[in-house]
Amino acid sequence: MFRVLSHFVGWSLGLAKADTQTTPEERDCLARHAANRQCLVEIGVWQGVTTSRLRGAMSAEGVLYAIDPYAPGRLGISLPQIIAHAEVGRLMNGTVQWIQATGLSAATQLHDKLLQQVDFLFIDGDHSYEGLKGDWTSWSPLIKPGGVVALHDSRATPNRPIHDAGSVRYCQEVIVYHPGFEVIEFVDSLTILRARSSVQVESQ
Protein backbone atom coordinates (compact mmCIF):
# COMPACT_ATOMS: atom_id res chain seq x y z
CA MET A 1 0.00 0.00 0.00
CA PHE A 2 2.82 2.41 0.85
CA ARG A 3 4.46 1.88 -2.56
CA VAL A 4 1.17 2.56 -4.37
CA LEU A 5 0.49 5.65 -2.28
CA SER A 6 4.02 7.03 -2.65
CA HIS A 7 3.86 6.53 -6.41
CA PHE A 8 0.48 8.28 -6.52
CA VAL A 9 1.89 11.25 -4.62
CA GLY A 10 4.89 11.39 -6.95
CA TRP A 11 2.61 11.20 -9.99
CA SER A 12 0.34 13.93 -8.57
CA LEU A 13 3.38 16.21 -8.16
CA GLY A 14 4.64 15.48 -11.65
CA LEU A 15 7.63 13.58 -10.29
CA ALA A 16 6.61 10.12 -11.50
CA LYS A 17 5.02 8.74 -14.65
CA ALA A 18 2.01 6.45 -14.83
CA ASP A 19 3.10 2.84 -14.36
CA THR A 20 3.02 0.06 -16.97
CA GLN A 21 4.49 -3.40 -17.39
CA THR A 22 4.61 -3.09 -21.17
CA THR A 23 7.83 -2.32 -23.03
CA PRO A 24 8.19 0.64 -25.42
CA GLU A 25 8.32 -1.83 -28.31
CA GLU A 26 5.08 -3.46 -27.17
CA ARG A 27 3.35 -0.09 -26.89
CA ASP A 28 4.50 0.89 -30.37
CA CYS A 29 3.16 -2.42 -31.70
CA LEU A 30 -0.21 -1.90 -30.03
CA ALA A 31 -0.52 1.62 -31.42
CA ARG A 32 0.37 0.43 -34.91
CA HIS A 33 -2.32 -2.25 -34.94
CA ALA A 34 -4.88 0.08 -33.31
CA ALA A 35 -4.37 2.78 -35.95
CA ASN A 36 -7.70 4.00 -37.37
CA ARG A 37 -9.66 1.20 -35.70
CA GLN A 38 -13.32 1.91 -34.95
CA CYS A 39 -14.22 -0.42 -32.06
CA LEU A 40 -11.45 -1.20 -29.58
CA VAL A 41 -11.42 -3.07 -26.29
CA GLU A 42 -8.71 -3.16 -23.63
CA ILE A 43 -8.99 -5.62 -20.76
CA GLY A 44 -6.68 -4.57 -17.93
CA VAL A 45 -6.20 -0.81 -18.01
CA TRP A 46 -4.17 -0.36 -14.80
CA GLN A 47 -2.82 3.22 -14.94
CA GLY A 48 -3.87 3.96 -18.50
CA VAL A 49 -0.50 4.01 -20.27
CA THR A 50 -1.48 1.63 -23.07
CA THR A 51 -5.02 3.00 -23.06
CA SER A 52 -3.62 6.42 -23.90
CA ARG A 53 -1.60 5.00 -26.78
CA LEU A 54 -4.65 3.21 -28.13
CA ARG A 55 -6.79 6.34 -27.87
CA GLY A 56 -4.21 8.39 -29.67
CA ALA A 57 -3.97 5.87 -32.53
CA MET A 58 -7.59 4.91 -33.13
CA SER A 59 -10.06 6.54 -35.50
CA ALA A 60 -11.42 9.93 -34.48
CA GLU A 61 -14.88 8.34 -34.76
CA GLY A 62 -13.82 5.25 -32.81
CA VAL A 63 -14.90 3.95 -29.41
CA LEU A 64 -12.49 2.40 -26.93
CA TYR A 65 -13.94 0.24 -24.16
CA ALA A 66 -11.52 0.44 -21.21
CA ILE A 67 -12.21 -2.48 -18.89
CA ASP A 68 -10.77 -2.99 -15.40
CA PRO A 69 -12.39 -4.05 -12.10
CA TYR A 70 -10.40 -1.48 -10.09
CA ALA A 71 -10.94 -2.96 -6.64
CA PRO A 72 -10.76 -0.19 -4.01
CA GLY A 73 -7.70 -0.10 -1.76
CA ARG A 74 -7.48 0.57 1.96
CA LEU A 75 -8.53 4.16 1.43
CA GLY A 76 -11.77 3.01 -0.18
CA ILE A 77 -10.71 4.23 -3.62
CA SER A 78 -8.54 2.93 -6.44
CA LEU A 79 -5.50 5.14 -6.96
CA PRO A 80 -4.60 3.44 -10.29
CA GLN A 81 -8.12 4.24 -11.50
CA ILE A 82 -7.66 7.93 -10.70
CA ILE A 83 -4.35 7.97 -12.55
CA ALA A 84 -5.80 6.14 -15.55
CA HIS A 85 -8.76 8.48 -15.94
CA ALA A 86 -6.48 11.50 -15.77
CA GLU A 87 -3.91 10.10 -18.19
CA VAL A 88 -6.47 8.98 -20.79
CA GLY A 89 -8.49 12.18 -20.32
CA ARG A 90 -5.58 14.24 -21.61
CA LEU A 91 -6.37 13.02 -25.13
CA MET A 92 -9.49 14.07 -26.98
CA ASN A 93 -9.37 11.58 -29.85
CA GLY A 94 -12.42 9.31 -30.20
CA THR A 95 -14.58 8.20 -27.29
CA VAL A 96 -13.64 6.13 -24.24
CA GLN A 97 -16.24 4.05 -22.44
CA TRP A 98 -15.04 3.04 -18.97
CA ILE A 99 -16.30 -0.34 -17.77
CA GLN A 100 -15.47 -1.17 -14.15
CA ALA A 101 -15.70 -4.95 -14.34
CA THR A 102 -13.70 -8.05 -15.10
CA GLY A 103 -13.19 -8.98 -18.72
CA LEU A 104 -15.61 -11.88 -18.40
CA SER A 105 -18.33 -9.78 -16.80
CA ALA A 106 -17.88 -6.98 -19.35
CA ALA A 107 -18.21 -9.45 -22.23
CA THR A 108 -21.54 -10.60 -20.83
CA GLN A 109 -22.73 -6.98 -20.53
CA LEU A 110 -21.62 -5.99 -24.03
CA HIS A 111 -22.10 -9.23 -25.97
CA ASP A 112 -25.18 -8.29 -27.99
CA LYS A 113 -23.95 -4.77 -28.67
CA LEU A 114 -20.45 -5.74 -29.81
CA LEU A 115 -20.99 -9.13 -31.45
CA GLN A 116 -18.53 -9.24 -34.38
CA GLN A 117 -18.02 -5.48 -34.10
CA VAL A 118 -14.67 -5.38 -32.25
CA ASP A 119 -11.78 -4.73 -34.63
CA PHE A 120 -9.04 -4.45 -31.97
CA LEU A 121 -8.80 -6.30 -28.65
CA PHE A 122 -5.94 -6.05 -26.15
CA ILE A 123 -6.05 -8.62 -23.35
CA ASP A 124 -3.87 -7.76 -20.36
CA GLY A 125 -6.10 -8.67 -17.43
CA ASP A 126 -6.05 -11.83 -15.31
CA HIS A 127 -2.83 -13.63 -16.28
CA SER A 128 -3.79 -16.97 -14.76
CA TYR A 129 -4.63 -19.91 -17.03
CA GLU A 130 -8.33 -19.74 -16.15
CA GLY A 131 -8.30 -15.95 -16.31
CA LEU A 132 -7.06 -15.79 -19.89
CA LYS A 133 -9.31 -18.70 -20.82
CA GLY A 134 -12.33 -16.76 -19.58
CA ASP A 135 -11.34 -13.57 -21.41
CA TRP A 136 -10.51 -15.42 -24.63
CA THR A 137 -13.62 -17.61 -24.81
CA SER A 138 -15.92 -14.69 -23.98
CA TRP A 139 -14.34 -12.05 -26.23
CA SER A 140 -13.05 -13.96 -29.26
CA PRO A 141 -16.59 -14.39 -30.72
CA LEU A 142 -16.99 -10.60 -30.66
CA ILE A 143 -14.06 -9.98 -33.03
CA LYS A 144 -15.03 -9.03 -36.56
CA PRO A 145 -13.33 -10.74 -39.53
CA GLY A 146 -9.96 -9.09 -40.02
CA GLY A 147 -9.94 -7.78 -36.46
CA VAL A 148 -6.76 -7.97 -34.40
CA VAL A 149 -6.19 -9.46 -30.95
CA ALA A 150 -3.09 -8.62 -28.88
CA LEU A 151 -2.22 -10.79 -25.87
CA HIS A 152 0.22 -9.49 -23.26
CA ASP A 153 2.47 -11.83 -21.24
CA SER A 154 1.57 -14.58 -23.68
CA ARG A 155 5.11 -15.73 -24.39
CA ALA A 156 8.39 -15.87 -22.54
CA THR A 157 11.35 -13.73 -23.56
CA PRO A 158 14.98 -13.60 -22.41
CA ASN A 159 14.19 -10.50 -20.37
CA ARG A 160 10.90 -11.96 -19.08
CA PRO A 161 11.29 -15.75 -18.56
CA ILE A 162 7.65 -16.41 -17.65
CA HIS A 163 7.42 -19.90 -19.17
CA ASP A 164 5.18 -21.20 -16.37
CA ALA A 165 2.73 -18.28 -16.30
CA GLY A 166 -0.86 -19.36 -16.86
CA SER A 167 -1.36 -16.79 -19.62
CA VAL A 168 1.68 -18.14 -21.48
CA ARG A 169 0.55 -21.73 -21.19
CA TYR A 170 -3.02 -21.06 -22.31
CA CYS A 171 -1.86 -18.97 -25.26
CA GLN A 172 0.72 -21.48 -26.42
CA GLU A 173 -1.41 -24.57 -25.75
CA VAL A 174 -4.76 -23.31 -27.00
CA ILE A 175 -5.04 -19.88 -28.60
CA VAL A 176 -2.30 -20.14 -31.22
CA TYR A 177 -4.00 -23.27 -32.59
CA HIS A 178 -7.45 -21.69 -32.90
CA PRO A 179 -8.59 -22.24 -36.52
CA GLY A 180 -10.40 -18.90 -36.63
CA PHE A 181 -7.25 -16.88 -35.98
CA GLU A 182 -3.77 -16.61 -37.45
CA VAL A 183 -0.67 -15.42 -35.62
CA ILE A 184 0.76 -12.45 -37.49
CA GLU A 185 3.43 -11.04 -35.17
CA PHE A 186 5.39 -11.41 -31.95
CA VAL A 187 6.84 -8.42 -30.09
CA ASP A 188 8.49 -9.13 -26.74
CA SER A 189 5.78 -10.84 -24.66
CA LEU A 190 2.99 -9.87 -27.08
CA THR A 191 1.30 -12.30 -29.44
CA ILE A 192 -0.70 -10.63 -32.23
CA LEU A 193 -3.44 -12.55 -34.03
CA ARG A 194 -5.88 -11.69 -36.81
CA ALA A 195 -9.39 -13.14 -37.07
CA ARG A 196 -9.90 -15.16 -40.25
CA SER A 197 -13.68 -15.38 -39.96
CA SER A 198 -16.49 -15.41 -37.40
CA VAL A 199 -15.51 -17.43 -34.35
CA GLN A 200 -17.59 -19.58 -32.04
CA VAL A 201 -16.99 -19.97 -28.32
CA GLU A 202 -15.08 -23.15 -27.56
CA SER A 203 -15.14 -25.26 -24.41
CA GLN A 204 -11.36 -25.64 -24.22
**If you average pLDDT over every residue of the chain, what do you get?**
95
- Check which CATH number belongs to the domain holding 25 and give it: 3.40.50.150
Q: How far is CA 10 from CA 60, 73, 75, 90, 183, in A?
A: 32, 18, 17, 18, 40
Domain assignment present for residue 204? The answer is no
Nearest to 86 by CA among 52, 119, 57, 137: 52
- State the pLDDT confidence band at 204, using cuts at 50, 70 and 90: very low
- Is 71 a member of any domain? yes
Above 90 in pLDDT, residue 102? Answer: yes
pLDDT, residue 134, reads 98
Q: Label residue 2 by pLDDT band (50, 70, 90).
A: confident
Instruction: Report, as an integer, the average pLDDT of 67-72.
Output: 95
Evaluate whether residue 62 is within a structural domain: yes
1: in domain: no
> pLDDT tens-digit profile of 143-187?
999 999 999 999 999 999 999 999 999 999 999 999 999 999 999
d(CA 140, CA 3): 36
Structural domain count of the chain: 1
In a domain, 201, yes or no: no
CA distances in angstroms from 62 to 28, 118, 126, listed in the order given: 19, 11, 26
Position 4 in a domain: no
Sign of CA dihedral 28, 52, 5, 123: negative
- Tell me if 186 is assigned to some domain: yes
Q: Classify strands 181-187 and 190-195 as parallel, antiparallel or unpaired.
A: antiparallel
Q: Collapse the DSSP code of 186 into the 3-class scheme (helix H, G, I; strand E, B; otherwise coil) and give the result.
A: strand
Q: Is the per-residue pLDDT at 35 higher than 50?
A: yes
With respect to residue 187, please indicate whether it lies within any of the assigned structural domains.
yes
| Per-residue pLDDT at 63 exceeds 90 | yes
Residues of the domain holding 146? 18-195
Q: How far apart are CA 123 and CA 106, in angstroms?
A: 13
